[in-house]
Amino acid sequence: MQTDKPNCKPWRITVRRTASSALLLLLAGTAVAHAAMYRWVDGNGRVHYSDTLPPNYQQSGASEMDKQGNVIKRTKSEAERRADAARQAEAQRLREEQNKQAQLDRALTQTYTSEAEIDLARDRALEFHKLAIKSAETRMGAVKSNVAELRDRIARIQQNGRTPAPNVFEQLQQAERENDELQRTIQKNQDAMVVVRARYEADKQRFRELTVKP
């Protein structure tokens, strides 16, 4: 029995080596089975195949295939990625726009219960600008009278061969500047009234769309 032990060791070593070799072959076979092939097109339109993808073609996109030639993964080109980003940005913009419109619609239906209430709110908003215009027109009447009086005074002084005092010209210039400013104020409020009417008309139209019964 003692003489048999030395003879067993080489056999065990051989078994271990055989198992290790088989494992290595199995792993190698697995690696080969999973090896991928890349397909890409160069600038001249020629198709190329390789087990690695050249860096200069990574931006133009490529297809990764298995050993049977089936596409298992496709890398998008830089242009395709930019197009995807643009589509995503546009989709995000539309979502934000829809959310904003939904908020405006809720505010509209929660603020008013009828189109008549919208008209009433419009009239109140217009009243502010009407008062501003009326005040400016009243002041403008006095300023225009002052301008006419100063011009007449200067003309009479000059007709008598004299030179009007400098402060008379300064008063005239100041009155003319005030008259111009009042005209701008009137125009500004008239423009604002156009905007107010358009805004409330749009609100009324949208309110009608939201509340009309099918």
Q: Average pLDDT in the 135-139 region? A: 97
Q: 143, exposed or middle or buried, with CB in 10 Å at 0-12, 13-18, 19+? A: buried
Q: Is 93 a residue whose pLDDT tops 80?
A: yes
Which of 5-9, 11-15, 108-112, 172-176 has the lowest average pLDDT?
11-15
Q: Average pLDDT in the 76-98 region? A: 86
| pLDDT given at position 83 | 86
Identify which has the larger pLDDT, 55 or 141. 141
Q: Is 147 a residue whose pLDDT tops 90?
A: yes
Q: Average pLDDT in the 4-25 region? A: 45
CA 154 to CA 163: how far, in whole Å?
8
Which of 20-24, 87-91, 118-122 has the lowest average pLDDT?
20-24
| pLDDT given at position 190 | 98
Helix H segments across 50-114? 78-111
pLDDT, averaged across the chain: 80
pLDDT, tens digit, 9 for 90 and up, residues 22-32: 444 444 444 44
First-to-final CA distance of the chain: 103
How many CB atoms are located within 10 Å of the residue 136 CB? 20
Identify which has the larger pLDDT, 24 or 124. 124
Q: Is 58 a residue whose pLDDT tops 60?
A: no
| pLDDT given at position 5 | 46
Tokens 């215009």 belong to residue:
133
- Residue 112's φ and ψ, nearest 5 degrees, are -120, 150
**In the chain, what percentage of residues exceed pLDDT 90?**
58
CA 7 to CA 23: how far, in whole Å?
25
Q: Is 107 a residue whose pLDDT tops 80?
A: yes
- Per-residue CA distances from 123 to 81, 117, 209 (Å): 53, 10, 22
Q: Average pLDDT in the 197-211 region? A: 95
